[in-house]
Amino acid sequence: MSRIAAAFARLKAEGRTGLVTFVTAGDPSLEHSAEILMAADRGGADVLEVGVPFSEPLADGPVIQRATERALAAGTTLDGVLTMVAGVRSRLRAPVVLFSYANPILRMGVEAFAERAASAGVDGVLMVDLPLEEAGDCRAVYESRGIDTIFLLSPTTSDRRIRQASSLGSGFLYAISRLGVTGSRDTLADGAEAIVARIRAASQLPVAVGFGISKPEHVHEVGKWADAAVVGSALVNLIAESGTAPDLPARVEEYVRWLKD
């Protein structure tokens, strides 16, 4: 059983809603990213998503776009992200998922990337813009290294493609609560529960819901029908506001604990 599968099995056994936290690697620096991951882990995050900065983050809203720009300006690369994860992995309890656009991985080479990722202790990979029809080869390479392949599903995803993602995917499925780009919201999208119900009807994999989640009440609401909530932009914004302040890790840990409580 993978670390991701074990984490969701533990959540189910304990009757808890999981929390997946997303941060952009390299913002404000890779050294700070390592501290941020450890802080989120101490705060109780159940899965740690690490975003690989890319110059054309089409699925991301302004908060994560700006974080990506800062990370790239600081010289962050996929190679550097993998080195950072390798350095901090032994100090993390939660599984690590690398969230990347396809371009950086294809540029490194899928085989070379999978080898590096496995050595670094990466537990899952989500290639946000990789079409399902072209995912089979990547999935086979990742599976051979013990890495879960995670897919995004939106309210407009057909039932056929949900079944396809379920058969190809492992670890969990990431349901987008609404159309559009990432970004925190005051309320959950109306279609979030419906897309989870459709996924449940087609798959036995755990379901995490993201896009727009920023408060404990959002996590509580998501937990009524999904296995985990994903918090990204709100946490990335907190990091942006903190910059390189000495209390950045403490603020991250406090925020994650607040979401969990």
Per-residue pLDDT of 13-43, as tens digits, reads 999 999 999 999 999 999 999 999 999 999 9
**Residue 201: per-residue pLDDT:** 96
**Residue 118: per-residue pLDDT:** 98
Q: H helices within the chain, ranges in order?
A: 3-14, 30-43, 62-73, 78-88, 102-108, 110-120, 136-144, 159-168, 192-202, 216-222, 233-242, 248-260
Share of the chain above pLDDT 70, in %: 95
Q: In CATH, which superfamily holds the domain spanning 3-146+213-260?
A: Aldolase class I (3.20.20.70)
Helices (runs of H) and strands (runs of E) counted in the chain: 12, 9
Q: Check pLDDT > 60 for residue 178.
A: no
Q: By mean pLDDT, which of 186-190, 201-205, 230-234 is the weakest?
A: 186-190
Q: Looking at residues 57-67, what average pLDDT do you find?
A: 89
Q: Looking at residues 196-221, what average pLDDT do you find?
A: 93
Is 115 an active-site residue? Answer: no
In the structure, what pLDDT confidence band is assigned to residue 188 with cuts at 50, 70 and 90? low
Distance of CA 99 to the CA centre of its chain: 6
In the structure, what pLDDT confidence band is assigned to residue 57 with cuts at 50, 70 and 90? confident
Q: Check pLDDT > 60 for residue 181.
A: no
CA dihedral 18, 24, 28, 30 (to 10 degrees): 90
> Which residue in 41, 46, 49, 253 is the catalytic one?
49
Structure-block tokens of residue 220: 């509580």
Per-residue pLDDT of 209-259, as tens digits, reads 998 888 999 999 999 999 999 999 999 999 999 999 999 999 999 999 999
**Residue 25: per-residue pLDDT:** 98
- The number of CA neighbours under 13 Å toward the Cβ of 47 is 42
Which of 223, 256, 225, 211 has the alpha carbon at shortest distance from 94? 256
In the structure, what pLDDT confidence band is assigned to residue 207 with cuts at 50, 70 and 90? very high
Which of 141, 135, 46, 146 has the alpha carbon at shortest distance from 96? 46
* Residues β-bridged to residue 239: none
Is 49 an active-site residue? Answer: yes
> Which residue in 60, 193, 221, 253 is the catalytic one?
60
Exposure letters 217-241 (e unless 16+ CB within 10 A, then b): ebbebbbeebbbbbbbbbbbbbbbe
Tell me the C-alpha distance between 209 and 206, whole Å.
10
In the structure, what pLDDT confidence band is assigned to residue 184 with cuts at 50, 70 and 90? very low
**Residue 182: per-residue pLDDT:** 46
Per-residue pLDDT of 85-127, as tens digits, reads 999 999 999 999 999 999 999 999 999 999 999 999 999 999 9
